Amino acid sequence: MSKFPKPREVYDYRPIIHFTPPSNWINDPNGMVYLNGKYHLFYQHFPLAPHWGPMHWGHAVSEDLLHWKHLPIALYPDELGCIFSGSCVYDEENLSGLGTEEKPPLLAIFTHHSMDGSHTEQQGLAYSTDYEHFEKYYGNPIIPNPGQKDFRDPKVFWNPVRRCYSLVLAAGDHVEFYASHNLKDWEKTGEFKAGEHGLKGVCECPDCFPLPVAGTQCVPAENPVSASAAAASPVKEKWVLVISMILPREEIGKNNDVYDRMSHITQYYIGEFDGNTFRDTEMADTPLLLDYGTDNYAAVTFQNLDEKVMIGWADNWDYANFAPSDTSGFRGKMTLARKMHLVPTKEGYRVAFSFEGLDELRTHAFPLLPGENRLRSQCFGLKVNVAGPGSIVLKNQRGEMLAIRVTASEIIVDRTNAGQDDFSESYALPAYGRTHAPRPATAKDSLHCKARPEAVSEMEIILDKCILEVLADDGLLPITASVYPSKPYEKICIAGDLKAEYYCVH
């Protein structure tokens, strides 16, 4: 008998605007690239069962980041192993010679994880000129294993210093940088060790990219910086290095806080990239977390897009294999796409996020009354103006409730009594059930450069069946959590100094 339970058939948990597979298992987003007006999302997929197994790359496309069309599986396991995480690069100048000038190739650079028991990891290449069907490169592996146990998840990016492509991959307790002029032959250029000012452990799914400092560039419409102000402050950027981490067993729960309560967590560093390696220049006192919630891991950004837009796997290794599903047996979901902004705060530069693709839906928002309101949908958004402490609580007939509380120092998401929790011991732990995210001293320079009293901030909340996403304090405090109410929530209660507007998201 399989150790993984069959999905329960209690309630349809399949989200509407969050990506889910046609059926069975998914984890990390892979190879995200914007091409000819379409967002391509590849993903870690086991198409044969609703639990992790030999990995394939699933594939879907979208024009709006909310509605996805499933395409055939892009990469199948082969004699070098199954297909672990990696990235795509649009080789527009056909540097690889694997396409033609008329049909530049899309290259997938991924990890082959051997299935012979040795677990050897090395990097492979596949190419496509119709952006749907891929051929594996005859010269694989393109980066053989150098004797390193964990050696995976290559993310390709443009290297403006050397004027070539670079990639960053996870190698045990550090990440390594490689450079190439033809995307096939790679030389190692440097290393960055995680943990000096962050979390220690085994690295996974790194990403590295430049991000302009908000307010130093003029973003029309959204950012009303005057032309003269924009001219006076030229575009400045910093490099961001994102690393998903597996914490060492002995570190978990040591301080019983948001930094060590789970085995898997994603952090980021802010600094410089000299063409060979990354240097952390912010050196924050506490690790910078990409998300304070339990359910956002292995997040990476799109390639070939001017702005930095990120999607993560909205689940948690500690319980994802056991999570409730629906009759179709899908298991796993992605976060919504989030645009990244680099914001100067009193504590230094920080990354802030805003949801991508929701502008049109937000125009239909209407105010909710303080107190109790009826909830007619399980897929909705809230725009919340936070002027002081307060709470937003969702309730159903069974007495289950999901709470988002604002205090002067924390944003708390409490799912300890939000629905089903008996499918996994980890999920049911109070430390997982209640997220206490420390609020930034002040979210001074708001994303949209609005003049506002410092204590006021904006929060946006999305609930889409079994996934809750909260972007609090002008996007500086993301909290993502899976929730499994056994009946739909029917009431939404607003208390305290919060003004909420509601909009439907489907």
Residues in contact with ligand FRU by CB under 6 A are 27-28, 44, 55, 84-85, 111, 152-153, 204-205, 297-298
Nearer to ligand FRU, 16 or 115 (CB): 115
Distance in Å, CB of 259 to ligand FRU, minimum: 19
Measured over the CA atoms of residue 128, residue 133, residue 139 and residue 141, the dihedral's sign is positive
422 DSSP β-pair partners: none
Nearer to ligand FRU, 207 or 474 (CB): 207
Residues designated as active site: 28
Q: Within 13 A of 395's CA, how many CA atoms are on the CB side?
A: 13
Distance in Å, CB of 85 to ligand FRU, minimum: 4
Nearer to ligand FRU, 315 or 356 (CB): 315
Contact between residue 248 and residue 200 where contact means Cβ atoms under 8 Å apart:
yes
Distance in Å, CB of 334 to ligand FRU, minimum: 13
How far is residue 476's CA from residue 478's CA, in Å, rounded to a whole number?
6
496 DSSP β-pair partners: 390
Nearer to ligand FRU, 99 or 206 (CB): 206
CA geometry: angle at 460 spanning 402 and 399, to 5°?
Answer: 10
Residue bearing tokens 């033609």: 100
Nearer to ligand FRU, 44 or 482 (CB): 44
Of all residues in this chain, which one has the CB nearest to ligand FRU in the complex? Answer: 84
Distance in Å, CB of 118 to ligand FRU, minimum: 16
Distance in Å, CB of 462 to ligand FRU, minimum: 23
Residue bearing tokens 């939000």: 418
Distance from first CA to last CA of the chain, Å, rounded?
39
Distance in Å, CB of 494 to ligand FRU, minimum: 36
Nearer to ligand FRU, 27 or 424 (CB): 27
- In sequence order, what are the residues at sequence separation of 6 or more whose Cβ sits closer than 8 angstroms to the Cβ of residue 111? 83, 84, 85, 86, 121, 122, 123, 124, 151, 152, 153, 154, 169
φ, ψ for residue 475, nearest 5 deg: 85, 0
Q: Which two tokens stand for residue 375?
A: 């909830």
- In sequence order, what are the residues at sequence separation of 6 or more whose Cβ sits closer than 8 angstroms to the Cβ of residue 19? 41, 43, 60, 62, 68, 311, 333, 334
